[in-house]
Amino acid sequence: MITTKVETFNNYINGEWQESVSKKTFFSVNPANTEDVVGEFQASNEQDVKTAIEAAKNAFPSWSQTAPSKRAAILNQAASILEQNVAALAEELTREEGKHVEDAKNEVIRSAQTLRYYAVEGQSFTGETFPNDDANMKVSTEREALGVVSVITPWNFPLSIPARKIAPALITGNTVVFKPSSDTPLIAFRLVEALAKAGIPKGVINFVTGKASDVGDLLVTHPAVRAVTFTGSTAAGEDIHSKASFTTRTQMELGGKNPLIVMDDADLDLAATLTVNGAYSLTGQACTGTSRVIVLKEVKEEFTQKLVQKTSALKIGNGFEAGVKIGPLANERQLKNVLKYIEFGKEDGADLVYGGEQILTGEFEKGYYVEPAIFTNVKPNSRIAKEEIFGPVVAVIEVDTYEEAIAVANDVEYGLSASIVTNNLKIANQFTKDIQAGTVKVNRTTTGNLMNAPFGGLKKSSTSTFRESGRVGLEFFTQLKTVYMGF
């Protein structure tokens, strides 16, 4: 073990940094070198969660009445703190999650921009006025905050996903209890620290780390919790959704099995580049990552050759090294899961034409490294074609027609993101109608979404109730009243 002193980080409850009443802790480790301990965090229990929810409940009346411009000023100040510390925060994010430090920098900047975006949008988010026949009456809708919101987030975008939930929650006057992934609590801590330094009143944001099995249920079922915004696996989302009462709103952004269709008229260099960028960025651990390539049989051989060639050029390594494109998987569960699915692919008769081995030599020995894998001749009904893997594994599925491509693309439980590569405008337009996905792209990667556009999935990729991101991202955090005002 590396013996440098490991810093201990506390929960943030009612404006105070405090230890868990459990007196237990856990460690966050570097997935590129598991001997490097990033920090020690509170293994909270239900008593901590209860105190945090009560603090948020008590802070709500005052915060919801605070002038929107003051709420916005706090978000802007927190954004400035993130921006002033981009390099240091990116380093911590890379150490904790494994993504490349340039991607980590972009995530810090994007998170600051998200705080600023909602500081502006939230101040002009309002109801409507409805014309009516009574000259002495005005009919309008008013938007008001809900109350206490639980924010539960994953490790893959450990700063930007919390930012895109917490910023709209706070600007609209809600108070928050935030539980990050136990794989990335440090960068989540930094977001809360920035809000605390920016002067957020006590109880408005509360931060509790710990296992889902210890704290998850109460974050969902406590009667004071009016809404749960969650991003993570579909299994956890279904569990949370089934436990929430009907007066608790839920917003679930879940798993995906995102297809890229390559038509016979496609620019195959572009198709291979889009596949590489969509499938392997973040080491395949993006919810919108390309997991299936559905390719017309006329171009399958040439496309596969190009894909293998581009994949073999990717540098694997530590996220601090220049030029690295594939880093470690984020944790041991991820490593085991990815290796398990590579075995499923082989057992189901697909051809592993590239990679797929765990890397255990040299510097890779202490990290969770796997070579990117490409399977061809994948049967549409096999597990690697149907189930989310969440790693750098591409399943190439051959089809005869556009109609068959759509049928295969839609024949999964998920519907998060999808793309097509074609120069045929008619097919491209038809694709936007036929595909079952919340994010639909043409000649672009399945990954990536704008901060100012709605984001979310269909089918088991989302509850499809409220979208995240953009102006509509504010809707989840407000309720409507219709006011009939007679003069």
Distances (CA, A) of 203 to 50, 58, 114, 158: 12, 7, 22, 22
**Quick one: which segment of 86-94, 179-187, 262-270, 366-374 binds ligand NAD (CB under 6 A)?**
179-187
Q: How many CB atoms lie within 10 A of CB 425?
A: 9
Q: Does 232 bind ligand NAD (CB under 6 A)?
A: yes
Task: Name which position in 236, 262, 326, 353 contacts ligand NAD (CB under 6 A).
Answer: 236
Task: Name which position in 233, 337, 410, 479 contacts ligand NAD (CB under 6 A).
Answer: 233
Residue (154 or 319) nearer to ligand NAD, CB: 154
Residue (4 or 242) nearer to ligand NAD, CB: 242
**Smallest gap, in angstroms, from Cβ of residue 89 to ligand NAD?**
19
Q: How many CB atoms lie within 10 A of CB 15?
A: 16
Residues 190 and 194: their CA atoms lie apart, in Å, by 6
Residue (264 or 387) nearer to ligand NAD, CB: 387
Q: Which helix (H) or strand (E) holds 297?
A: helix 297-312
Residue 253 appears among annotated catalytic residues: yes
Angle in degrees, 0-180, between the axes of helices 46-65 and 212-221, rounded to the nearest 10: 40
State the virtual CA torsion across 164, 462, 417, 479 in degrees, nearest 10.
-50
Residue (109 or 458) nearer to ligand NAD, CB: 458
**Smallest gap, in angstroms, from Cβ of residue 160 to ligand NAD?**
10
Q: Does 175 bind ligand NAD (CB under 6 A)?
A: no
**Smallest gap, in angstroms, from Cβ of residue 330 to ligand NAD?**
8
Q: Does 96 bind ligand NAD (CB under 6 A)?
A: no
Pattern of binders to ligand NAD over 98-137, x per CB under 6 A? ----------------------------------------
HEC per residue, 85-153? CHHHHHHHHHHHHCCCHHHHHHHHHHHHHHHHHHHHHHHHCCCCEECCCCCCEEEEEEEEECCEEEEEC
Residue 19 appears among annotated catalytic residues: no
Residues 167 and 122: their CA atoms lie apart, in Å, by 9
Pattern of binders to ligand NAD over 406-445, x per CB under 6 A? ----------x-----------------------------
Q: Which residue is catalytic, options 107, 253, 371, 398?
A: 253
Residue (119 or 152) nearer to ligand NAD, CB: 152
**Smallest gap, in angstroms, from Cβ of residue 401 to ligand NAD?**
30
Q: Do 318 and 36 meet the contact criterion of CB atoms below 8 Å apart?
A: no
Residues 56 and 47: their CA atoms lie apart, in Å, by 14
State the virtual CA torsion across 224, 230, 234, 239 in degrees, nearest 10.
-10
Residues 247 and 292: their CA atoms lie apart, in Å, by 38
Q: Does 231 bind ligand NAD (CB under 6 A)?
A: yes
Q: Does 160 bind ligand NAD (CB under 6 A)?
A: no
Residue (71 or 467) nearer to ligand NAD, CB: 467
Q: Do 49 and 225 meet the contact criterion of CB atoms below 8 Å apart?
A: no
User: Which residues lie across from 439 on neighbouring strands?
Assistant: 417
Q: Is the four-CA dihedral 424, 427, 432, 437 of positive or negative sign?
A: negative
Q: Does 212 bind ligand NAD (CB under 6 A)?
A: yes
**Smallest gap, in angstroms, from Cβ of residue 413 to ligand NAD?**
12
Residues 385 and 291: their CA atoms lie apart, in Å, by 8
Tell me how many residues contact ligand NAD (CB under 6 A).
Answer: 27
Residue (179 or 226) nearer to ligand NAD, CB: 179
Residue (319 or 457) nearer to ligand NAD, CB: 457
Identify which of 477, 480, 479, 481 has the alpha carbon closest to the alpha carbon of residue 118. 477
Q: Does 388 bind ligand NAD (CB under 6 A)?
A: yes
Strands (E), 287-391: 290-296, 315-316, 324-326, 351-354, 373-376
**Smallest gap, in angstroms, from Cβ of residue 255 to ligand NAD?**
4
Q: Which residue is catalytic, options 92, 97, 287, 398?
A: 287
SS3 440: strand
**Quick one: which segment of 130-138, 166-174, 176-184, 346-354 binds ligand NAD (CB under 6 A)?**
176-184
**Quick one: which segment of 34-42, 196-204, 253-261, 308-316 binds ligand NAD (CB under 6 A)?**
253-261
Catalytic residue IDs: 253, 287
Which residues of this protein are in contact with ligand NAD, per CB under 6 A?
Answer: 152-156, 179-182, 212, 216, 231-233, 236, 239-240, 253-256, 287, 388, 390, 416, 457, 461
